[in-house]
Amino acid sequence: MRFTIAIDGPAAAGKGTISKGVAAHFGFAHLDTGLLYRAVGRRTLLGEQPKTAALALLPEDLNRDDLRTAEVAQAASRVAVVPEVRAALLDFQRAFARRAGGAVLDGRDIGTVICPNAEAKLFVTASAEVRAQRRYLELTGNGSQVTRDQVLADVKERDARDMERSEAPLKPALDAVTIDTSSLSIPDALRLAIEQIQLKI
């Protein structure tokens, strides 16, 4: 079976949790495309040029523990505005999307650019304050020394960069179903997502 589920939305809206849950529910493979940009961003922090870093990306770059830091997230959103970086990552994402057995991809431009023909599209969002609070708990839980205000400023800066870039900006596809998780529990958000996808299967 070839069935692609595109899940887009801003940082810390719950995309990752929902995508993993949806993939487990339907028995599909899951790709967190943010990791690709984080891996490129991490390489640029070590001195590489964004385009060179994107072309040199190796599978082991995606399995590193240090991709989840606030610094790497900012570097990811900076390399994500570079058209050559996006182009270098395109084929890998499209091939993943069409693999046999079904695929869930989550990111910013899956429903609009990477998989415009995806069978199901969700746009998962939440208020900036709620998202910043979630990210704050996640980062401090990992031992990062950050303040709530810093995390909120970071989230807003990344949102602005992701939405305002000319190449593949963050926005819902016209045919995406929006799920606002601001006041939803994880199980409720996941249930809603599965119900919506079930309608397309």
- Which of residues 7, 39, 53, 80 is near ligand C5P by CB under 6 A? 80
Measured in degrees and rounded to the nearest 5, phi and psi for residue 78 equal -75, -40
Q: How far apart are CA 64 and CA 2, in angstroms?
A: 29
Residues sharing a CB contact under 8 Å with residue 43, sequence separation 6 or more, in sequence order: 53, 56, 57, 61
Tell whether residue 131 is a contact of ligand C5P (CB under 6 A).
no
Tell whether residue 33 is a contact of ligand C5P (CB under 6 A).
yes
Tokens read off for 85? 């970086």
CB of 40: closest distance to ligand C5P in angstroms? 9
In this structure, are strands 4-8 and 177-180 parallel, antiparallel, or unpaired? Answer: unpaired
Measured in degrees and rounded to the nearest 5, phi and psi for residue 48 equal -80, 155
Residues 50-79 as x/- pattern, contact with ligand C5P by CB under 6 A: -----------------------x--xx--
Q: Is 13 annotated as a binding residue?
A: yes
Q: Is 47 annotated as a binding residue?
A: no
By CB under 6 A, name the binding residues for ligand C5P: 11, 33-34, 37-38, 73, 76-77, 80, 107-109, 158, 162
